[in-house]
Amino acid sequence: MFDRLSSLVIALTLIAIAAILAALAGGDASTIAILALAGFAATAIVHAAAPAPVIEARAETAAPPPAPLPSLLRHPDFARRADQEADPLLGTTDNIVTVANDAAIRLLGRHIVGADIRTAIRHPAATEWLAKAADADTPQEISLVDFPRPGQRWTMRMAALSGGDRIIILSDRSAIDAADRMRSDFVANASHELRTPLAAILGYVETLQDMNGDADAGMRHRFLSIIDREARRMQQLVIDLLSISRVEADRFRRPTTPVNLAAIVNNTVAQLRDSEEARAKDIEANLGSEPQPMLGDAAQLGQLAHNIISNAMKYGRAGTPVTVDLAREGGRVRLSVGDQGDGIAPDHLPRLTERFYRVDEARSRSVGGTGLGLAIVKHISERHQGQLDIASEAGRGTRVSVSFPLANG
């Protein structure tokens, strides 16, 4: 009821009162002193013998260990959700693959489940990265170059969970890399194509200046016509570069304007027949009399027809016909241009629509080609849901055709 200190104070107070009462009752000094000493001694013994106060033990008592958190990887929804992910996704516990979604199994094989992740991925950069503890210094994403095959590149991202669990996601970057490479190749090629005629122009201008009026009229005329030809080549290149960038920018914008393909092709044929081209008179057009309605960009479709027909004029043999046909095929209309020329070897066919790809560079240059004509055709065709087809027979000739859906088809 009383704590130890209070009991001691009370006891001493009672002894002091007893001693005072004894003194008042007339006891002698030594009796009072002995009584007080005995009282103090008794009190000290009682105090020493009293049980030590219990200091309340607080939360220091060890609590039972917390139950481990349930693993996200073993959640029933996890595997289902992982399968919906298009990129390969893996769940690992202490580096052993416990979950692999469909995309991961397609990429790495079914045997990876239960295997060590480092064996499953088998790439030095991945092995090194996985060996590191996941801390703030560990990069969140690494590149796997030449994975799974030479020339390909994937990235690997990891999220570390509790209890040694990890989620690993792989993403294919090969197509992005190829697009980047194509872009930088394109800039390099375009610069090279512009530099060549520019160097010729500067060279001939310098020669004419050095001659200081000594050159005879014939030589001056020859040099000036080279300058003129090279400047026109540059001009055509700039026009084609602008066209390709415009066409590429419009790539995903479906045309919505109703146009008549027959009228557009007829216009292009008329322009080429009226041109100074040596082969202008060789064009034989069979466009029919009915309109060919489709949704399109008239200027782009005119350019497509122009590029295909002028290629046939450039690469067909002099004096042979260039045929231009327009015909319906079910719900589509097909523009088909044929020539009688040297043709194209089959291994070149798939690459003809690449920018600056030429079968014979010198030949292309000699006929004023820029190497961009068919790349522009391909883009315009794709924008109009066209199907481009190039068929060629070595020594006989080439037929380039594009079919488009008719507006009422």
Return residues touching ligand ADP (CB under 6 A). 307, 311-312, 315, 339, 341, 344, 352, 357-360, 364, 369-375, 398
Backbone angles phi, psi at 367, to 5 degrees: -100, 15
Distance of closest approach, residue 374 Cβ to ligand ADP, in angstroms? 3
Query: CB of residue 287 vs ligand ADP: minimum separation in angstroms?
Result: 19
Interacting residues of 296 by C-beta distance below 8 A, sequence separation 6+: 255, 257, 259, 261, 264, 384, 404
For residue 114, is it left (φ>0), alpha (ψ between -120 and 50) or beta? left
E strand intervals along 148-244:
153-160, 165-172
Confirm if 243 and 298 have CB atoms less than 8 A apart. no
CA distance 126 to 124: 5
CB nearer to ligand ADP: pick between 255 and 371: 371
* Closer to ligand ADP by Cβ: residue 92 or 401: 401
Which of 73, 172, 173, 161 is CA-nearest to residue 113? 73
CB of residue 307 to ligand ADP, shortest distance in Å = 6
CB closer to ligand ADP, 302 vs 369: 369
Minimum distance between the CB of residue 377 and ligand ADP, rounded to whole angstroms? 7
Distances (CA, A) of 104 to 90, 110, 117, 357, 374: 7, 8, 12, 37, 39
Q: How far is the CB of 355 from ligand ADP (least distance, A)?
A: 8
Compare residues 169 and 372 and give the one whose CB is closer to ligand ADP. 372
CB of 142 to ligand ADP, least distance (A): 40
Looking at the Cβ atoms of 88 and 373, the one nearer to ligand ADP is 373
Q: SS3 for 143?
A: strand
Nearer to ligand ADP, 202 or 345 (CB): 345
Report in angstroms the alpha-carbon separations of 40 from 12, 44, 45, 109, 386. 7, 6, 9, 91, 117
